[in-house]
Amino acid sequence: MLRLELSSRTLQEESCLVSRPCVKIVSSEYEKVLHTIRDDIGSHLIWLCIEETTDSCGRYMANVIVGKLSPSEPGKGHLILCRELDVTNHRTIVRTVQAALLSGLLWPTFPDEEVNKVLTLVTDAAPYMIKAGKSLKLLYPKMLHVNFLAHAMHKVAKELREKLSSVNSVISSVKKIFVKAPSRVRAFNTMHPELPLPLEPILTRWGTWILVAFYYAKNHRAIEEVINTFDEADSRYIAKAKATFKMKGLMPSLTFIKAYMSVIPEAILKLESRGMELVEVVTTIQGVVQEADSWPGETGKTVKQKLEFMLAPNPGWSAALDLERMLRGESEPSEDFPNYSAQQAESFKYLPLVSVDVERSFSSLKLLLTDLRKSFKTKNIEKILVVQSNADLLH
């Protein structure tokens, strides 16, 4: 049977232009994937997630992930639609969601009863996403719009990074000293063979910045000792690093991070894991909120305010709290709680409130559009990405 091995060496050796036979294969595999997704969703209630990015060609691309809501198991997310946007605003987001639901991709027809099967929309907290959620709520009255909770934690970590500039200066300058400098790496390993090289944060994942700060809180004296042996004439970053180690506020900032901020990367790690129950997700967020009450000083106050600011505009957070209490069997929902039956409320047991699946689909897009492969037509990109993201369904 012909199959499209998108991650194999074959694609690396293809020309930028897709031949007609290849297009036919892509279309065939694309239809098989959609058929398998429809079988998986069946008659279940569904959640969907939409996120947008800019590809390597500068185009705005929106991906729609769908999955079933089931009380018996977590619903696997399936990329069902990849669509190029002319502009990014609430109108194009609404049109993209409607294209995913009404064009026959998920259901061959869309009778009135299917409207009530769309129970959850998960997005980031961008203003245009909030506005799009309000518009879609009019079309899908049972739909609960919730923002990614891991994104909220990332924003809190980013606020901490910006507030504690001395720590950030040390991390960024030291990182550059050891890049492509084997002699300096050898010097570090010789002086402190028991220590790993200074860690590097992933700038798009702010929780890792806190973990790197933990490393510096424990080992900054040893790192400074090594840096002081380097000649400032070799690199401007050596001079900068030496200066930043002497900055006022560095030691107090590292102490504050080590003493109080471990809850943030721990929460991010939990929230990014697959298959968490809604009860666990809410418990994790509430644990961070409770910890925030004990964060001292001006820095603690600033970071706590950021946490409150990120949770306040989340349109579905209060409903998620009600659902969590109902799943525990502890209390009645609030007056503004959506009109869900007990069966519908039960389906939220494994509600996904993270962006892991959609972020992975964006990673697939980056791998597809390399520097040597940028001439794909958009319609082919959309089909290939759906096939590639759901490749496990073809096995």
Angle at 128 between CA 135 and CA 86, to 5 degrees: 100
Q: Identify the DSSP state of 76.
A: P
DSSP line for 82-100: EEEESS-SHHHHHHHHHHH
Query: Of 219, 241, 259, which closes a domain?
Result: 259
Looking at the structure, tell me whether residues 95 and 211 fall in a common domain: no
Q: Measure CA 291 to chain center.
A: 23
CB atoms within 10 A of CB 81: 23
What is residue 65's three-state secondary structure?
strand
Looking at the structure, tell me whether residues 108 and 205 fall in a common domain: no
Looking at the structure, tell me whether residues 141 and 232 fall in a common domain: no
The total domain count for the chain is 2
Looking at the structure, tell me whether residues 63 and 177 fall in a common domain: no
pLDDT for res 4? 40
Question: Does any domain span residue 87?
Answer: yes
Question: Does any domain span residue 106?
Answer: yes
Looking at the structure, tell me whether residues 14 and 94 fall in a common domain: yes
Looking at the structure, tell me whether residues 100 and 196 fall in a common domain: no
Looking at the structure, tell me whether residues 15 and 101 fall in a common domain: yes
Question: Does any domain span residue 297?
Answer: no
pTM: 0.77
Q: Measure CA 172 to chain center.
A: 23
Q: Which domain holds residue 81?
A: 9-148+352-394
What is residue 310's three-state secondary structure?
helix
pLDDT for res 189? 95
Query: Of 235, 259, 283, which closes a domain?
Result: 259
Q: Which residues of the chain have pLDDT under 70?
A: 1-25, 56, 110-112, 203-204, 206, 354-381, 391-395
pLDDT for res 374? 53
pLDDT for res 77? 85
pLDDT for res 154? 86
Q: What is the pLDDT of residues 283-310, one digit of tens each?
A: 999 999 999 999 999 999 999 999 998 8
Query: Of 215, 243, 259, which closes a domain?
Result: 259
